[in-house]
Amino acid sequence: MGKRKTIVQKGMLGKPEPNDIEQPPPKRSRSKLYTHMSGEQKRLIEGAGFHGLVDLKCSKLRPDLCSWLMEHFNPATNQLVFPGRGAIDVNEESMKSVLGIPMGDKDVSYEMESEAT
């Protein structure tokens, strides 16, 4: 991320030089999604209306991308903030639009139930 950030900070426009393009991280630093989830667990998630999470087209998470997103997330405003470029709201509407996560009047419990496994 360092080289790309430098390009943006300097205000360079146009195509970056080949040496300035970031290389993907090695495969060992990527985490597979849903590797230990059974078909029944996936059906339960879909049945709760969260099919967007099961239908994600990626099969791996890139820790570098996750870190970058967290660095740009402002919890006070619930936005991904990109200096000089704007911000993206992270709210019920955007989650429904992007991931297909249902939006309704049900409260989300932040306490773990004793029956949860």
Digit-coded pLDDT (tens) for 10-61: 444 444 444 444 555 454 444 456 667 788 888 887 777 677 777 676 767 7
Q: Is the pLDDT of residue 88 over 70?
A: yes
What is the domain range of residue 82? 63-100
> CA dist 56 to 23, 71, 87, Å?
23, 23, 23
Find residue 74's DSSP bridge partners. Answer: 79
Residue with token string 């949860």: 116
Helix (H) or strand (E) holding 3: helix 2-10
Q: Are residues 44 and 68 in the same domain?
A: no
For the chain, give the mean pLDDT: 71
Q: Are residues 54 and 68 in the same domain?
A: no
Which pLDDT value is given to residue 113? 67
Number of compact structural domains in the chain: 2
In a domain, 45, yes or no: yes
The span from the CA of 83 to the CA of 114, in Å, is 43
Q: Are residues 55 and 75 in the same domain?
A: no
Q: Are residues 56 and 40 in the same domain?
A: yes
Residue 96 — pLDDT band, cuts 50, 70, 90? confident
The span from the CA of 95 to the CA of 103, in Å, is 8
Residue 116 — pLDDT band, cuts 50, 70, 90? low
The span from the CA of 75 to the CA of 57, in Å, is 26
In a domain, 110, yes or no: no
Residue with token string 């667990």: 41
Maximum C-alpha span of the chain: 56
pTM: 0.45
Q: Are residues 40 and 68 in the same domain?
A: no
Q: Are residues 75 and 94 in the same domain?
A: yes
